[in-house]
């Protein structure tokens, strides 16, 4: 049977992101009750650069300062939703919205991962977050890669050679890198491979992103799963690592 994981990046307290993306998940679930979602959550999301202008945050959105958001995450059904880590600020304040892990050396990255874990612990979500990490914008320096392997069980990385060059030839196997077929679900037309067994469909919670999980995109994903008789699974299931 073909297996599909639907991952959603940048699930944050930002007013143009927030937990509202769950409405689109419910749209899929109404047609595919077996669907599974991996929500990647930055622990203090901070977009400091006006790209686009409406995305800017005046200050970081620490999870501990948004109890309603954290409660909504906690209340999500565990059989349908898993939570993964997606950086702390997500970007470099005053420099970039997305490159937080791109240039860090191993000690700096280790400190950043510790802050992420502390934030999740502080809001009582440590039992809901799984040891899964996706670096913002897929960028992970060699030092950060090495530090991450000491903290997380799964690195949900981009499989293309372009990104493997960023990881500087680090030795990886199926337990550490997402080697499955990857699809960036970009509307208006979602194109999927004809032959596949395991598929991760990557979307975003932010309304300004080209692959924002809108109603129309949710419908296309549900159509695909019905057409291919696919069942929903979590990322660990795709990798044979639960």
- 140-182, pLDDT tens digit by residue? 898 999 899 889 988 888 777 677 667 766 655 544 444 445 5
DSSP state of 34: T
Residue scoring higher pLDDT (29 or 188): 29
- 17-28, pLDDT tens digit by residue? 878 999 999 999
Query: Where residue 49 sits, what CATH number does that domain have?
Result: 3.20.20.370
What Cα–Cα distance (Å) separates residue 167 from each residue in 22, 140, 225? 32, 6, 32
Answer whether 38's CB lies under 8 Å from 201's CB: no
Q: Which residues, at least 6 apart from 192, have a Cβ–Cβ distance to it below 8 Å? A: 183, 199, 224
Looking at the 3D structure of the chain, how many domains does it have? Answer: 1
pLDDT at 38: 96
d(CA 197, CA 191) in angstroms, rounded, equals 16
Residue 15 has pLDDT above 70, yes or no: yes
Answer whether 136's CB lies under 8 Å from 91's CB: yes
Domain span at 85: 3-239
- Whole-model pTM: value is 0.92
pLDDT at 88: 98
Average pLDDT in the chain: 88
Q: Among 94, 83, 84, 85, which residue's Cα sits nearest to residue 60?
A: 94
DSSP assignments along 141-200, one per residue: -HHHHHHHHTT-SEE----SHHHHHHTTT----TTTB--SEEEE--SS-----SS-SEEE
d(CA 199, CA 6) in angstroms, rounded, equals 9
pLDDT at 179: 46
d(CA 93, CA 100) in angstroms, rounded, equals 9
Buried b (16+ CB within 10 A) or exposed e, 196-222: eebbbbbbbbbbebebbbeeebbebbb
């Amino acid at each position: 049977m073909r297996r599909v994981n639907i991952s959603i990046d940048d699930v944050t307290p930002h007013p143009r992101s927030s937990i509202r993306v769950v409405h689109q998940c419910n749209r899929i679930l109404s047609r595919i009750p077996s669907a599974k979602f991996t929500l990647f959550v930055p622990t203090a999301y901070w977009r400091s650069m006006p790209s686009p202008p409406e995305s800017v945050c005046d200050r970081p959105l620490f999870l501990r300062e948004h109890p309603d958001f954290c409660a909504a995450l906690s209340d999500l059904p565990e059989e349908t939703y898993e939570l993964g880590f997606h950086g702390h600020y997500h970007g470099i304040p005053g420099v970039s919205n997305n490159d937080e892990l791109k240039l860090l050396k191993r000690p700096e990255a280790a400190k950043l991962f510790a802050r992420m874990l502390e934030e999740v612990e502080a809001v009582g979500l440590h039992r809901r977050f799984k040891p899964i990490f996706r670096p913002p914008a897929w960028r992970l320096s060699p030092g950060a890669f090495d530090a991450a392997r000491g903290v997380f069980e799964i690195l949900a990385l981009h499989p293309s050679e372009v990104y493997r060059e960023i990881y500087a030839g680090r030795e990886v196997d199926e337990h550490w890198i997402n080697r499955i077929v990857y699809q960036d679900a970009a509307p208006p037309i979602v194109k999927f491979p004809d032959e596949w067994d395991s598929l991760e469909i990557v979307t975003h919670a932010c309304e300004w992103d080209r692959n924002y999980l809108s109603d129309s995109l949710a419908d296309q994903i549900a159509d695909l799963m019905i057409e291919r008789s696919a069942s929903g699974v979590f990322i660990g299931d795709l990798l044979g690592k639960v």
